[in-house]
Amino acid sequence: MTYRNLEQCIQDLEQHGQLVRVREEVDPYLEMAAIHLKVHAAGGPALLFENVKGSKFRAVSNLFGTTERSKFVFRHTWEAVRDVIALRSDPMKALKNPLAHVGSALAAWKALPVKETPSQPFAQEIAISDLPHIHHWPGDGGAFITLPQVYSEDPDKPGLMKANLGMYRIQLSGNEYVPDREIGLHYQIHRGIGIHQAKATRRGEPLKVSIFVGGPPAHTLAAVMPLPEGLSELTFAGLLAGRRFRYTYADGYCISLDADFVITGDIYPGETKPEGPFGDHLGYYSLTHPFPVMRVHKVYAKPNAIWPFTVVGRPPQEDTAFGEIIHELTGDAVKQEIPGVKEVHAVDAAGVHPLLFAVGSERYTPYQPVRQPAELLTLANRILGTGQLSLAKYLFIAAEEDEPLDTHREAEFLAYMLERIDLRRDIHFYTKTTIDTLDYSGTGLNTGSKVVFAVCGERKRELCTEVPSNLKELRGYAGARMILPGVVAIEGPAFADYASAERELDGLCRMIAERGPMPSCPMIVLCDNSSFVSASIANFLWVTFTRSNPSHDIYGVNSGFEHKHWACDNVIIDARAKPHHAPPLVPDPEVERRIERFFAKGASLEGIRLD
């Protein structure tokens, strides 16, 4: 079935045993988020909170908690959507076999947005304070909307087909926002709404913004989809929903007639207020910074409206499933956008943006006596210059040759890289550049560095599977533990500052070098807790690549420069926590104890196993 609204989706999931109603009163301050996190971690169902303290509205979470449930929700439109996206990515398919794609063209045409004039009021007017104010983490600056659909139009080309629908977090309360009159919008200037705001500012005008919350689940997914050029988010929303996006205008603002809630307002040129902190997808807080403030015009709620939300934190979380279904729908698009690239995998365990694994081709030097990356470096530049991939700090790219490579088998892919890398040739830095706004490992907001590890050709070494003797009993360092073949964690003193770190790492590199060559261990991770880092590949990926800035935190045994190219015998990544890093997300122990009542015998969630 296709859903006209969020309520129908909830009923469908409940009928198929994939949703549980929470009947008891629940506090939106930390309790709802803590319950969601436990149920999601257990692979549990979607949750409908029927009695939210301080609000008359119900709330739902974990709708997209697993890839299987997400695909179930979109089961009747999934294949049609894949066909349309494939045609947008490769229009030659339609030219070669037009009759085979008539259905896709018809589906796309039927998905075009439709303007309607409601015969009666479409919703009641409410206030921001009437909404469920869900406070997710103890250090958050207030309540946030985590699944908004933020709509803005191009001031130079108004109308839906040139509009942007994006998912940018919205702060409802706290900090310096005037209650019920102001809310905060967090987005980067290169995003669609940022471009619209820049144009409005040049014209000396406020930018009109509408925030849709709820509606058919397809509308939520449309707000995060990286779509092919020319396919609008609103058309995609209609395509995935199986029915056209219905809208009208009120007071000059676009109104989704299918959304459960709509907030309208204006962003005035130059107006900002402190936004944050907020527990974010890297597993740390994003801190307080000035971001645009929206003056609230009106807030609408449909009868029996339901407030959807998710909780953002250290992966895997619900947005992991978002990433997986987006990859399934658009996975081949990168091949069209960057010829020569087979796949690019933004590694979820490392917070998505910090780390990319990629597979490419190496055709530039087939007849050279020594194969070395050449085309791969061209592809690396293309990858790091493409959309959100440009936020990455680390890119590991390998040429696929005699055996197929799968970047989603992370341990195997990394081993393949480390077996073949020439550490004196295959490491390439980009310094003083941009990184993710939410990543505090760099030198400032949005600023840091990148590094590319590129390999092709034959295997050069056997990787160690036990800690080499060179790394045992090092003065001032302890806890050497295997993480993966060829990768060892060691503990060092707490990080003080970069001047001290440089002296410490120079001494560490000398101590290792004095013990002789160690080719079987190309990567060493210096950390605060080697037991934690080595306990799982997820811990290793998270700590190593969220807590390091390549230009500042990569060192090497016997390192030096050869014609301005940095080279070494063994890479050391300093992944210790630094004073300028944002604090990690830690649940409130008292809240954890308090929510046990929801899982007790006779309570709404007693059947959910949390082990």
CA–CA separation, 39 and 29 (whole Å): 17
Strand order in 46-49's β-sheet? 19-22, 46-49, 58-61, 306-309
Please name every residue paired with 60 in a beta bridge, in sequence order, or none if there are none.
Answer: 48, 308
Q: How many C-beta atoms lie closer than 10 Å to residue 289's C-beta?
A: 13
Please, what is the Cα angle at 605 between 601 and 611, to 5 degrees?
90
Please name every residue paired with 453 in a beta bridge, in sequence order, or none if there are none.
Answer: 396, 427
Q: How many C-beta atoms lie closer than 10 Å to residue 604's C-beta?
A: 21
Interval 79-83 mean pLDDT: 78
pTM given for the model = 0.91
Q: Judge contact between 183 and 299, C-beta under 8 A.
A: no
Instruction: Return the closest-CA partner of residue 240 out of 215, 257, 265.
Output: 215
Residue 1: band (very low, low, confident or very high) from pLDDT cuts 50, 70, 90: low
For the segment 490-533, what is each residue's pLDDT rounded down to a tens digit? 999 999 999 999 999 999 999 999 999 999 999 999 999 999 99
Share of the chain above pLDDT 90, in %: 77
Q: Judge contact between 101 and 108, C-beta under 8 A.
A: no
Eight-state DSSP code of residue 52 = B
Eight-state DSSP code of residue 1 = -
For the segment 543-554, what is each residue's pLDDT rounded down to a tens digit? 999 999 999 999
Q: At 271, give phi and psi (nearest 5°).
A: -90, 120
- In this predicted structure, what is the pLDDT of residue 366? 61
Please name every residue paired with 481 in a beta bridge, in sequence order, or none if there are none.
Answer: 489
Q: Judge contact between 249 and 162, C-beta under 8 A.
A: no
- In this predicted structure, what is the pLDDT of residue 367? 61
- In this predicted structure, what is the pLDDT of residue 95? 36
Query: Which single residue is written with the structure tokens 């060559």?
Result: 517
> Considering Cα of 458, then 463, then 469, then 472, what sign does the dihedral take?
positive
Q: At 262, give phi and psi (nearest 5°).
A: -140, 130
**Per mean pLDDT, which range of 29-38, 324-333, 353-362 is the poorest?**
324-333
Name the token pair of 589. Answer: 């122990």
* Res. 285: pLDDT tops 50: yes
**Residue 364 is which amino acid?**
Y
Average of per-residue pLDDT values in the chain: 91
CA 230 to chain centre: 23
